[in-house]
Structure 1
Amino acid sequence: MRIDKISLQGSNPWNEDALVVNESLQLYGVLDGATSLLPYRGAGGETGGYLASRLAADYWNGLPSAEAVPGGFSLREAVLAANARLRARMEECGIDVTRKDQLWSTGLALVRILPGGIEYAQAGDCMLAAVYADGAVRVVTRDHVEHLDRVSKAKWREGLARGLASKAELWEYVRPVITANRMKVNTPEGYSVMNGEPELAETLEYGRINRIGLRALLLVTDGLFPPAVEGRESGGMEKLAARVQEQGLEGYARSLVEIEEADPECRTYIRLKKSDDKTGMWLQW
């Protein structure tokens, strides 16, 4: 198996994305941390999103072989164990874990490769696609954040129509919507995310696909999503997978950075920051 991976820092001070590469378990994944609405900084100035994604990645990267795990390895239980560790760590740092606006969080897309199939787990807007020998692309996961992102972007466009010109002005205009969206995490009206809440056990998606005809797996954080001009569809994961096959993972990511640099005020391509962290993994057989 060939593994291509990349993690590029966006325009914020910390890269809140992380990678999972555990060859002993054949466990691979991407994570996308999100900072709490009430800002927290660690001893080294780390954001909550950075701490959340790194805590989970370090836990999964450090797991032993399946034979060494009592009762056998369960991907779902490994995610929930990391979630419990995150909750305990936040409590140690004085976070009120009953308040959603204080929680550190991370999205995730994880796969475990088995001889006859692929197990997966997913939360948030990290995505997994499967590519087959006949060229077909199968989007395995769903972007659980997209329906709320549409509300945020509509508010951003409203700000543009009102004459707001700078990214800073637009961000402040959209902030109340973002705050309201964050209050819906791990509820039926919101989206799934690992943030220490026990409700992740109900909102986490997980499952298994077989390996018949499977040629590659693509795992990405949302910073790698293709940009969309207003009124046109981005093409989603199908377009993303096609471009990665044409340009390679790093080449594709660098092409996105060029687009973002040419649109620093986020007016052509509606987004909430000039450049998001970009993390991906391209597994090929």
Structure 2
Amino acid sequence: MDIRFATRKGVGAENEDAAAAGPGWAFAVDGATEPPDADTGCRHGVRWLVGRLSAALAAELGAASGRPPAEGGGSLPELLAAAIGRVRREHGPGCDLSRPDSPSAALAAVRAVPGGLEYLVLADCAVLLPVPGGPPRMITDDRIDRLPGGRPYPRELVRSMRNRPGGFWVAGADPRAAHEAVTGVRPGGGRFGLLTDGCTRLAEHFGYGWAEVWELLDGAGPAALIDRVRAEERDRPGAVRGKPHDDATALVGAFAPAAPERRFPRG
């Protein structure tokens, strides 16, 4: 397994991103920063959710490692749903998780499966898959960008459309959201990248092509990619709506191919 990652705090007091990897799996999580006046109904913060969700998903992926979905290993949506269910139980009775402002996160994950690479994206993280001779394939969940009325969205619109059919879905307190994620399998596996939206702004706001983003990520490395983001933010402060510096996490790598079965002579 060859995995490199970097993460860096934005303007908030804490880094609400996280990343993790293990044998045959990797993911990045981007916590949704709460507005100062958010009525979350929850005694826990976004950082708590990101940490617990990361630990729960790593446990689910680790337990399923080496067992493909057809043999009881579970698909990525099933494993994420189980992880969200674990975290929901950890909240305890003091949290009203029915409120739309309860803590939530975006997420991108990949997992080695027989014959390919399974991926999942929920909300505005991204998976990058290189393509020989061309720009990488960029997979994201853009439903947050297709809400009615256009940006900037009113707060009440976002609240009313979060984790609702016809709206957008995030990892929070509802395990059903996992089954609404963007998913697929890339045949053959190969290298991959995972980015939170603090890194995708290189392409989405600063005009970089995805080929340039991939070259930075896989060539110079995740930390260098984040350095480039910060440099662009300093040099062009009006190019990004919202936070001048967001939490930024980038991960790149590949999983080792499955080892062939070894047969030993008798005797």
TM-score, structure 2 normalization:
0.79
1-side partners of 2:57 and 2:77: how far apart?
12
Query: Secondary structure of the residue that 1:19 maps to in structure 2?
Result: strand
Q: Which residue in the other structure is 2:220 paired with?
A: 247
- Give the AA of the match of 1:138: R
Taking the TM superposition and a 5 Å limit, the aligned residue runs for 1:67-78 are: 72-74=72-74, 75-78=76-79
Indicate conservation of the 8 Å contact 1:80/1:201, yes or no.
yes
TM superposition shift of 1:55: 1.0
2-side partners of 1:270 and 1:140: how far apart?
21
TM superposition shift of 1:22: 1.9
Q: Which residue in the other structure is 1:82 paired with?
A: 83
Distance 1:14 1:3, change over 3 A: same
Distance 1:284 1:34, change over 3 A: same
Indicate conservation of the 8 Å contact 1:186/1:203, yes or no.
no
Indicate conservation of the 8 Å contact 2:3/2:252, yes or no.
yes
**Which of 224, 230, 238 does residue 257 from structure 1 map onto?**
230
2-side partners of 1:118 and 1:181: how far apart?
32
Determine what percentage of the aligned residue pairs are the same residue: 25
Indicate conservation of the 8 Å contact 1:125/1:222, yes or no.
yes
1-side partners of 2:182 and 2:247: how far apart?
23
Q: Which residue in the other structure is 1:220 paired with?
A: 195
Indicate conservation of the 8 Å contact 2:30/2:196, yes or no.
yes
- 1:180-211 CA-to-partner distances (Å, cap 9, x unmatched) read 21331122332111111244154223221201
Taking the TM superposition and a 5 Å limit, the aligned residue runs for 1:128-139 are: 128-139=127-138
Q: Which residue in the other structure is 2:47 paired with?
A: 50
Query: Secondary structure of the residue that 1:256 maps to in structure 2?
Result: helix
- 1:241-271 CA-to-partner distances (Å, cap 9, x unmatched) read 24324532211211111222345xx5x2132
TM superposition shift of 1:226: 3.1
Query: Secondary structure of the residue that 1:225 maps to in structure 2?
Result: helix
- Give the AA of the match of 1:14: E
Indicate conservation of the 8 Å contact 1:48/1:105, yes or no.
no
Residue 34 of structure 1 pairs with residue 7 of structure 2: no
1-side partners of 2:117 and 2:214: how far apart?
18
Query: Secondary structure of the residue that 1:139 maps to in structure 2?
Result: strand
2-side partners of 1:202 and 1:113: how far apart?
19
- Give the AA of the match of 1:220: L
2-side partners of 1:199 and 1:115: how far apart?
26
2-side partners of 1:146 and 1:130: how far apart?
22
- Give the AA of the match of 1:221: T
Q: Which residue in the other structure is 2:240 paired with?
A: 270
Indicate conservation of the 8 Å contact 2:120/2:183, yes or no.
yes
Distance 1:58 1:198, change over 3 A: closer
Query: Secondary structure of the residue that 2:201 maps to in structure 1?
Result: coil
Q: How many residues align?
A: 248
TM-score, structure 1 normalization:
0.75
1-side partners of 2:156 and 2:214: how far apart?
32
1-side partners of 2:231 and 2:33: how far apart?
25
TM superposition shift of 1:79: 0.3
**Which of 57, 60, 79 does residue 60 from structure 1 map onto?**
57
Query: Secondary structure of the residue that 2:97 maps to in structure 1?
Result: coil
TM superposition shift of 1:51: 1.6
Residue 194 of structure 1 pairs with residue 171 of structure 2: yes
Q: Which residue in the other structure is 2:252 paired with?
A: 282
1-side partners of 2:68 and 2:212: how far apart?
39
Residue 206 of structure 1 pairs with residue 147 of structure 2: no
Q: Which residue in the other structure is 1:22 paired with?
A: 22
Q: Which residue in the other structure is 1:12 paired with?
A: 12
1-side partners of 2:64 and 2:117: how far apart?
17
Indicate conservation of the 8 Å contact 1:227/1:269, yes or no.
no
1-side partners of 2:128 and 2:67: how far apart?
30
2-side partners of 1:89 and 1:7: how far apart?
26
- RMSD (Å) for aligned C-alpha atoms: 3.1
TM superposition shift of 1:228: 6.8
Structure 1: gaps spanning 5 or more residues? 156-175
- Give the AA of the match of 1:187: R
TM superposition shift of 1:238: 4.5
1-side partners of 2:227 and 2:112: how far apart?
28
TM superposition shift of 1:49: 1.9
